[in-house]
Structure 1
Amino acid sequence: MIRIRAALAAAASALLLAACGGGGGSDASGDGPTPVKVSVIPIVDVAPIYLGDRQGFFAEQGLKLELVSAQGGAAIVPAVVSGQVDFGFSNYTSLIIAKSKGLPLKVVAPGAGSTGVRGKDFGGVVVKSGSPIRSARDLAGKRVAVNTLNNINDTTVRASIRAAGGDAENVRFTELAFPDMLAALDKGNVDAVQVVEPFLATALKSGGRLVASNYVDTAPDLTVAGYFTSEKTAAAKPELVKRFTAAMQKSLKYATGNPDAVRKILGTYTKIDPSLTGSLTLPTYPAQVNRASLQTLSTLAVQDGLITKAPDVGELLP
């Protein structure tokens, strides 16, 4: 929790500086395409933006993308607020936490959602083949790796534990980047890992065993993540936001209709073994955010002590 507060405080300070001296955001000027910087995470969720760039959807809108990789949404929020990047990709819990702290954020496009099918989702909790952990209930008291502490993955893992009748209060979460999790699991440094694709397919091929589909257990048709900007950028550059949103919507639709292209594009920005692409479980790429599922994430954030008061999630949405 301390790391999140520090990051949000730094973002607020950076926002004040940006208000005085201008940020690092792009603007439409000149005859060439407008440069636009977007911070993303190297996971299957963001395949549509890579596909859309390759298909020319952003160029059609007069945009030239620069994609910047980050570990998680909690780190991307300050970069967007301070103007280091124009747009960011984040899970909605990060955005809910930021909004509760008064940070001025606005969602501009959906990103990825759960399939809603237990055992066949794009994210889940995995243990070693010989582990005594057989279900989410058995995670109580165990060491579980998540990519960012006090965020969507530990709150949804807790939701899985509660749904299975277990005690979610004493789980010991460890923060690890997705690429480092499987080695930590293999060495016994953690008892379980919460991973998303392409790391989930890698874990299962290596002998791991799925014990929970935490996104499915949390809410029906959970909208997991999306693209956002700062309220300052939204107000100052509405045309830029409009064009980015239009390109993202076309990219999401294309990804939904072309799953093989999604699997293929992963090799350009992740280190996935090409032999695994066919076994990946893809997320949904919804055209709209499921507001009810955001409300569930907000309720969980309060319940698990990430925030003290739930923000109006409607203020985050377009």
Structure 2
Amino acid sequence: MPIWKKASALFAVLLLVAASSACTFGGSSNTETVRVAEVTRSIFYAPFYAAVAQGFFEEEGIELELTTAWGGDKAMTALLSGGADVSLVGAETTIYVYAQEASDPAVTFAALTQTDGTFLVSREKLDSFSWEDLKGSTFLGQRKGGMPQMVGEHVLKKNGIDPHNDLTLIQSIDFGNIPSAFASGTGDFVQLFEPQATLFENEGIGHIIASFGTESGSVPYTGFIAKQSMLDENPEMLERFTRALYKGQQWVEQQPAEEVAEAIVDFFEDTPVELIAQVVERYHAQGSFATSPIVQEEAWDNLQLIMEEAGELPQHVDYDILVDTSIAEKVME
């Protein structure tokens, strides 16, 4: 069963819950508490953490209550059920919700990342690399139907590789166990997130040879999402939220990777600041961090193309239905 059907079945139940749930805010008259459910904890989200660490949300009168959901379905569950006011998650989840004819759809109002965040890592050091090198190999991919795997397959096809016939594709390993599986000898190539890709390269376990983010182009990979009712009823709060985020985006764009790493290191227990700096530099160099909160229409179209190609697009949805740039545009005036 396509992942969108499984996700849609879950969201259908959640929509019933969400219909009777109301978003609430705490704090004093001068400060609003905004509950944010992030899909995971990742250096990929550095501009957001930098905005927190630099006090930009405080400056806007916002106290964040940040929880890590560890999964796109869980992050969206928190939003739809009223357990979060804002969700940091992939834009594809809004399409799954919309496909269930939601009366209060989830809408992306601010961009955070604008490319895929995974890298192709080879076991052997290659003096030169061609995508043809993957033919006949064993490729350790990501979970079927997830955005990383959809992007991975899109990039392989773009480069003339049939992922289901030209190589042995392994998708049966849990996300958290993929790095250890590769380290223990499974696969000739693996698709990895950071900081694991850079860590493996530093330790000589593998070698980064290509970026799926660079190859796949601009995609609204992760952004801030709220229910339409929140956009209608509390745009002023979301404007302050987005202004704080934009300050963080601009700060990260202007600072050296080492300074960014120092600012966000407390968000990553047991991760050396030097490794964080390496990852920030790599993401910055390939343009993964959105430098403004505006989600571009071209990126939205590319997202749906990737989903459709993977057989995971329940229906095509116009950009202006599930993307609201009005707040971001106002912040940037």
TM over 0.5: yes
Instruction: State the match for 1:39 in structure 2.
Output: 37
> For 2:306, which of 283, 300, 307 is the aligned residue?
300
Aligned residues of 2:265 and 2:273 also touching (Cα < 8 A): yes
Aligned pairs, how many? Answer: 306
Instruction: State the match for 1:91 in structure 2.
Output: 90
SS of the equivalent of 1:181 reads helix
Matched, 1:158 2:153: yes
Quick one: structure 1 residues 232 and 189, their matched pair in 2 at CA, closer, same or farther if it must change by over 3 Å?
farther
Shift of 1:130: 6.8
Task: Provide Cα deviations, 1:204-240, integer angstroms capped at 9, x if missing partner.
Answer: 2122122432122122x44432111112322232222
- Give distance in 2, aligned partners of 1:110 and 1:140: 38
Shift of 1:122: 5.2
- Give distance in 1, aligned partners of 2:8 and 2:259: 36
Matched, 1:291 2:297: yes
Instruction: State the match for 2:261 in structure 1.
Output: 263
Shift of 1:295: 0.6
Quick one: structure 1 residues 9 and 225, their matched pair in 2 at CA, closer, same or farther if it must change by over 3 Å?
same
Aligned residues of 1:33 and 1:63 also touching (Cα < 8 A): yes
- Give distance in 1, aligned partners of 2:58 and 2:242: 13
- Give distance in 2, aligned partners of 1:316 and 1:175: 32
Which amino acid is 2:299 matched to?
A: S
Task: Provide Cα deviations, 1:69-88, integer angstroms capped at 9, x if missing partner.
Answer: 13343432222122211111
SS of the equivalent of 1:161 reads helix
Task: Provide Cα deviations, 1:180-223, integer angstroms capped at 9, x if missing partner.
Answer: 4321111234554322322221122122122432122122x444
Instruction: State the match for 1:117 in structure 2.
Output: none
| TM-score, structure 1 as length reference | 0.84
Matched, 1:9 2:15: no
- Give distance in 1, aligned partners of 2:135 and 2:259: 36
SS of the equivalent of 1:246 reads helix
Instruction: State the match for 2:330 in structure 1.
Output: none
Which amino acid is 2:120 matched to?
A: V
Which amino acid is 2:297 matched to?
A: R
Instruction: State the match for 2:331 in structure 1.
Output: none
- Give distance in 2, aligned partners of 1:175 and 1:313: 34
Aligned residues of 1:160 and 1:212 also touching (Cα < 8 A): no
Which amino acid is 2:175 matched to?
A: A
Aligned residues of 1:140 and 1:166 also touching (Cα < 8 A): no
Quick one: structure 1 residues 53 and 279, their matched pair in 2 at CA, closer, same or farther if it must change by over 3 Å?
closer
Shift of 1:64: 0.6
% identical equivalent positions = 21
Shift of 1:308: 3.8
Structure 2: gaps spanning 5 or more residues: 325-333
Quick one: structure 1 residues 53 and 274, their matched pair in 2 at CA, closer, same or farther if it must change by over 3 Å?
closer
Structure 1: gaps spanning 5 or more residues: 115-120
Quick one: structure 1 residues 201 and 91, their matched pair in 2 at CA, closer, same or farther if it must change by over 3 Å?
same
Shift of 1:301: 0.8
Aligned residues of 2:18 and 2:81 also touching (Cα < 8 A): yes
- Give distance in 1, aligned partners of 2:233 and 2:27: 14
Question: CA RMSD of the aligned region, Å?
Answer: 2.8
